[in-house]
Amino acid sequence: MNSHRLKRNIITIHLVFLAGLISGCYGTSNTKSDTSQSMPNHQNATQQTASSDTAPFDNGRMCIDHLVNAKLNHFNDDWSLPENIVDLRSEEGQVRLLECSYCEDYPELATAYLTQATQTFCGLASATMVLNADAESRKWRPVTQPYQPFNFYTQCNLLNDEVREHIDVAKVLNEGMELNEIFFVVKNQPSVVDAYCQHATSAQNEGELPASDAPHNCGVDHDYNTFMKTITNALNTPRHYVIANFAGAPSPERGGHFSPIAAYHKASDSFLVMDVARYKYPPFWISSKELWQAMQKIDSGSGKARGYIIAQTKSSSAN
């Protein structure tokens, strides 16, 4: 069997595996039941961890309680996508994955692929996914229930003490997060060396960006070509991961959303978005221009354009 055919078969098997992973960590009634059963031991277990920032929400277990009580819509059975959007599981989607030359991050992100725990947790799910993707940074991850004694990020333990000093957790649990808030969450994790954040702002909406002295501000990116160079470089650099914040993609009626970008296919000029709303959409390829336009949509909460975050994780040899 030639190497091309072998590679195709391996990826096909992997895609079949991904297609079967529909539910997230708290996405079904059975999982909720399991979580509820484990909760009486939560405080005792978390007290055994090394530091307070590895055991967030001991007082009242706000985050976990919220997840147990949250109600997700039923899974979407038809996985319908607009004609201009290519499903990763389709023949064309697989061909693009085989041909892409900017896909350093794909194997690791595919391994860490998950479903957002609630409909407001897309940002936290995206951050959890990229920070669990790099095996090199495993020792820097927190240790909390339900995975103790293993180092692993969850959509709750990302909200550590440092983050909660600047982020309104009650708002996060009920309304979701803005780009600058997810940026602050990401850059204040022990496994992150550096993080970079940009609003994808056009000249038309530049005047709509209010000044702020918040400790988690993002920069402003006016240029599509700069955006392309920055994202593709990150996709081909080890331990660099991209989170996109956009609206109206893959379908026009969609509101604001976060998901990681895993690859770029040059021939079709399209990015692979690993959508964390897996009860709605599969991973999909979207043209770079459409993604850029979706990032330029204004977030009504912040009054700012959406954009992207690049996180660089620590190597195992880092101090």
Give the number of C-alpha atoms closer than 13 A to the C-alpha of residue 173, restricted to the C-beta side: 17
**Residue from 228, 280, 238, 239 nearest 259 by CA:** 280
Q: Where are the beta strands (DSSP E) in the chain?
A: 86-87, 192-200, 219-221, 240-247, 256-265, 270-273, 284-287, 298-299, 304-305, 307-313
pTM of the model: 0.77
Contact 302, 137 (CB under 8 A): no
- The domains of the chain, with CATH numbers, are 3-313 (3.90.70.30)
Contact 280, 268 (CB under 8 A): no
Contact 218, 179 (CB under 8 A): yes
Tens place of pLDDT for every residue, the chain, 319 residues?
Answer: 444 544 554 454 455 444 444 333 333 333 222 323 333 333 333 333 333 333 444 433 556 555 555 544 444 445 578 989 999 999 999 999 999 989 999 999 999 999 999 999 999 999 999 999 998 899 999 998 889 999 999 999 998 888 888 888 888 888 899 999 999 999 999 999 999 999 998 644 444 444 344 446 798 877 999 999 999 999 999 999 999 999 999 988 899 999 999 999 999 999 999 999 999 999 999 999 999 999 999 999 889 999 999 999 998 666 6
Amino acid at 255: G
